[in-house]
Amino acid sequence: MVIGNPKGTIRNGESWLGNRSYGDLPMNLVAGRSGVYAQWNFCRDGGLLRFNARESLWLRNSAGMPSLAMFRFGSGSASLERTSIARLRQGDERDEKLNRPIIVVYGPGHEHLKEILKIMHCPGQVIMARDLHELEEILPMAEIVFGWKVPPHLYGKACHLKWVQSMGAGVDDLIANPDLSPTVMITRIVDQFGPIIAEFVFAELLADVRRLDLARQQQSQKIWKPFAVGSLQGQAIGIAGLGSIGRELVRKARVFDMVVYGLSRSAKPGLVDFGFTPAQWPEFVRSLDYLVLTLPATAETQYVVNRTILRAMKPQAIIINVGRGEILHQGDLVDALHQGEIAGAVLDVFETEPLPPEDALWKLPRVRISPHIAGPSLDEQVARFFVANVLRYLHHEPLQGVVDRERGY
Ligand code: GLV
């Protein structure tokens, strides 16, 4: 067996132990936080070595043959076994490790997911891509991607992909991606973001009605000057979109004794005080003090809140967008605010993110801007959702959160 020069991909926190050999087999050994990595290149005429590894990472060439392997094993002894490439080519059905689906995880800000998935006993070979370079390298192996903010074009590399589990609720980018084959199943996280988004919305509503900004401003200047404050009680809140997020908003609005209006495609009898359909936007918004948008971005919802709808609102009304930027026509909103057609806006999502520095919205005094943080994907929650779905996938059961590409969510 000829062994090429080992490639070095030593990760943060790991130290290089240098070249070692097992019998006649030189390789690189790297001490990691949770074990030892051995790594070497395979050559065309080479054989395959197998460790009793706790974990392995396989990179294959375009013909599907292994070109690089990385094994991690505990500090105990490792047993080696030579397997011929020919045998591997035929497919070794008995090799459970090779037959488990390869799950590629990528999500900026979610670096601990791999450990969490391990604690949760996620089945499959979980490989965490820590940067875009690694992601590009391992995507061709992926059967499953558990991802967030994967650059759309990289899906073109995922030639074995069967399923993408988004870490978020909105999947408009995945649906619109021409590099993601329509045969790949998409699932999104459902039934998890309601409580956290509701906290954001009511934090903003309470801050508005109790004028918390003014209190802090006076405090910073040591001013003691009582001022009038309002209350949410009896105020009209309209929730556009009555999925799991909208329904949680309804539940919390009732706790604050608000009058609840709702707009959804399907009638939800008994859920809200006044229900409307998408054909009734002007009637829906007419009496609202607060309009909360939780809708997904689809062909049907694009710019559904435009100048006509903004004009139909009360001048004291405030609009809150925690859905997608494309629902609300931003230019029309700026005009409506300038003209005093509505009183303010709380915006967590935008047509272009990050919101460009030159955007007029930054300077409008009654606009509160946040950087798409209303509904963060909390590692533990999304991991639990995903692991349950992987188990369903392996048992050929229907998954949770399957996206209907036609419907758009
Ligand atoms: C965030 O916007 C999400 O889609 O979860």
Distance 382 CA to ligand 1 centre (A): 12
Check if 238 has its Cβ closer than 6 Å to any atom of ligand 1. Answer: no
Q: How many CA atoms lie within 13 A of 112 on its CB side?
A: 9
Q: Which atom of ligand 1 is closest in space to residue 193's alpha carbon?
A: 5
The answer to whether the peptide bond before residue 182 is cis (omega within 30 degrees of 0) is no
Instruction: Tell me what pLDDT residue 369 has.
Output: 98
Distance 372 CA to ligand 1 centre (A): 8
Distance 44 CA to ligand 1 centre (A): 45
Indicate the top mutation candidate among 165, 377, 386 to test ligand 1's pocket, ranked by most ligand atoms within 8 A of CB. Answer: 377
Our CA angle for 235, 238, 242, nearest 5°, is 140
Distance 168 CA to ligand 1 centre (A): 4
Q: Which atom of ligand 1 is closest in space to residue 168's alpha carbon?
A: 5
Q: What domains are defined for the chain?
A: 15-85 (no CATH), 102-189+379-394 (3.40.50.720), 194-369 (3.40.50.720)
Instruction: Tell me what pLDDT residue 268 has.
Output: 86
β strands within 252-336, DSSP E: 259-263, 274-276, 290-293, 318-321
Per DSSP, the residues of 331-355 read HHHHHHHHTTSSSEEEES--SSSSP
- Of all protein residues, the one whose alpha carbon is nearest to atom 5 of ligand 1 is 168
Distance 200 CA to ligand 1 centre (A): 14
Instruction: Tell me what pLDDT residue 57 has.
Output: 52
Instruction: Tell me what pLDDT residue 99 has.
Output: 53
For the chain, which residues score pLDDT lower than 50? 1-56, 60-61, 65-69, 71-98
Q: Please, which residues have CB within 8 angstroms of residue 1's CB and are 6 or more apart in sequence?
A: 25, 43, 45, 46, 47
Instruction: Tell me what pLDDT residue 100 has.
Output: 81
Residue 356's SS3 state is coil
Check if 170 has its Cβ closer than 6 Å to any atom of ligand 1. Answer: yes
